[in-house]
Chain A
Amino acid sequence: MKPLSFSRAILHIDGDAFFASCEQARDPALRGKPVITGKERGIAASMSYEAKARGVTRAMALWEIKKLCPDAIILPSDYETYSMLSQRLFSIVRRYTHEVEEYGVDECFADITGYDRPFKKNYTEITKHIQETLRQELGFTFSVGLAPNKVLAKLASKWKKPYGLTVVPETGIAPFLENLPVEKIWGIGGQTAARLARYGIQTALQFARAREDWVKQALERPFHDIWQELNGALVMPLFLEEKTFYGSIQKFKTFTPPSKDPNFIFSQLSKNIENACIKLRRYNQATPRAIFILRTQSFNHSVMEMPFARPTNLPPEILSVARAAFQKIFRKNTLYRATGFTTFNLVPNVLQPDLFLASGKIEKLQKMYASSDKIAAKYGKHSLFLGTSWKAHQFGAHLTERGHEPERKNELFLGESKRKRLGIPMLMGDGI
């Protein structure tokens, strides 16, 4: 066989039903069965291939799933475990190349250009090796696309699932794109597809064959980038930086049953504020203003945007403003089911004196929260929290069956607690 030509060798590695697979990999009793995660949200967050075969789709309501597939195993999400396995995915891929872009919790891009020589393997063999190592060490499968750039690699990984390996060398682009609807391309949504259809472009190949000057003139810049990649060029580099600065941070939480109690609802909001502030402090950022959101049982939203005296990441500074906002938007005898807190236009955290609060007071608060963060690092998140969040902490988010906790949270070793557990995924099930 002739060696396949690659000016660049880019991989897209995509988890097959990632969350559901994490569950099936740790408990063999779930193997071969329709498994769904997302119990705490009331909708399917991820479903195993067995569940997909039964017609379960993403975001389907749980009651609908139970009708469609009575033997479905519906589990609460164990994000702690999923995140650990996600980190392992990236670490394993980094054994082969340090050029890895963590694109989502269950997917990444990797550039293996030039590694064929040191590994004494061609690109397809390296790709197979990575895919096989992931299956062996994580216990579930990934689908992989190997192509000259990100757009084609992402299309290729979707081509055959699960456990697919699709190679698109430069010479194989045209047949690969021929029957692919244009909206399957990463970055081309329904609206753009409709626009392209007006020019008679329905398949990815038709788009790739469009004249470049027309693409540049009739479409926006990102579509020209996509066009170039469909023609085999690499114009979208991999983003290798770890995320260290956020533009906005939001915390939104639903609770069941819905409530009319202003103290309880405010405590939920207060907890969201504390959570957002923990993240702000972790990245040493501050927010100049924020949006407070209440959602009613009938899915109406009351929203209020408020500025702060100074950009802050300290809950006590936000709370007085939050109370004023809450009083304006809260209505009596209305059932609420969620609260939210959104920060944006974030800035680096610096202490400046301001007109209303003596900076000495702020400095004290900052010291206190620095200690609180240290305590959290040692004893777990929310070891210390504000009295205003007490009611939200007392009951957990859900009193109904949606409140079931992941099994791991109750399967503890000596020295572990509900707040803090060992950072190693656990195999579960009977018979050990």
Chain B
Amino acid sequence: MTTPKYFSSIARFYRERKRLPSYREMLKLTGFRSTNAVYRLVERFRQADLLTKDAAGKLIPGKRFRELRILGTVEAGWPSPAEEELIDTIGLEDWLIHNREATYMLKVSGDSMIDAGIRPGDMLLVERGRTPKEGDVVIAEVDQQWTLKYFQKRGRQTILVAANKKYSPIIPQDELNIAAVVTAVIRKYHT
């Protein structure tokens, strides 16, 4: 990412939340791995009057913040309206993935969810640590294997139901380990 792009992502944050990101949030926005790098970036923005500090020492937009937010870029000589519009778009990856650190993928090999439109070869994005809700498609660990099923309740009992008449519901005897909740199914047809 270039410096203008860092600024754009901060400007976008400001537009969405009506406040500036904290240092920790900037770490995430910029993808930097050290806070010092963020400090240095903020210093650059302060020198360029894009950001400044209020009496309490909190970061606030600087004199040129608005002007450049509208231009959409820091270094461009001329405004590019298109770029400002694009600030409000979201990448496919951000759209698909909610909690990046907890998201895993896997490749479907069986046909137990075929009637839910999940076919062998499909890619699943699954999130670990998410609490499953009734009707979610989940990855459970049964007999030392992953299994892909609907998560359903029958009274207080949890059951795992396939989307395929060939398979009968699994009623777990003892503790049931739901490893992850399926958050997306992806099927790619061409390279």
Contact = CB atoms under 8 A, between A and B. Distances in A.
Interface of A: 26, 28-29, 31-32, 88, 90-92, 94-95, 98-99, 102, 133, 136-139, 240-242, 411, 413-415, 422, 424-432
Chain A at the B interface: SS class: loop
Contact of A431 (B103, B145, B189): B145
Contacts of B126: 427
A425 B107 CA distance: 12
Given A414-B191, A424-B105, A90 B144 contact: no
Interface stretch (B5-13, B31-39, B70-78, B150-158): B31-39
B106 A240 contact: no
A93 to B, nearest CB: 10
B101 interface: yes
A210 to B, nearest CB: 36
Contact of A137 (B128, B188, B189, B190): B128
Given A91-B100, A139-B128, A426-B104, A432 B34 contact: no
Contacts, number: 99
B14 interface: no
B36 A241 contact: yes
A29 B143 CA distance: 8
Given A29-B145, A242-B33, A424 B107 contact: no
A432 B104 contact: no
B191 A426 contact: no
Given A28-B144, A137-B101, A426 B23 contact: no
Interface of B: 23-24, 27, 32-37, 99-110, 123-126, 128-129, 139, 141-142, 144-148, 179-180, 188-191
A429 B100 CA distance: 22
A431 B113 CA distance: 12
Given A240-B36, A424-B103, A137 B145 contact: no
A138 B128 contact: yes
Given A91-B100, A137-B101, A242-B34, A28 B141 contact: yes
Contacts of B124: 432
B128 A432 contact: no
Contact of B101 (A31, A88, A414): A88
Contacts of B129: 133, 136-137
Contacts of B23: 98
B145 A422 contact: no
A102 B34 CA distance: 10
B129 to A, nearest CB: 3
A91 B101 CA distance: 7
B107 A432 contact: yes
Residue from the set B106, B125, B126 with the largest chain A CB neighbour count within 10 Å: B106
Given A90-B33, A92-B101, A242-B33, A430 B109 contact: yes
Given A28-B146, A136-B129, A137-B99, A426 B106 contact: yes
A425 B100 CA distance: 11
Contacts of A413: 107, 123, 188
A29 B147 CA distance: 12
A95 B28 CA distance: 9
Nearest to A31: B144
Residue from the set B23, B34, B129, B147 with the largest chain A CB neighbour count within 10 Å: B34
B145 A429 contact: yes
Contact of B110 (A88, A422, A432): A432
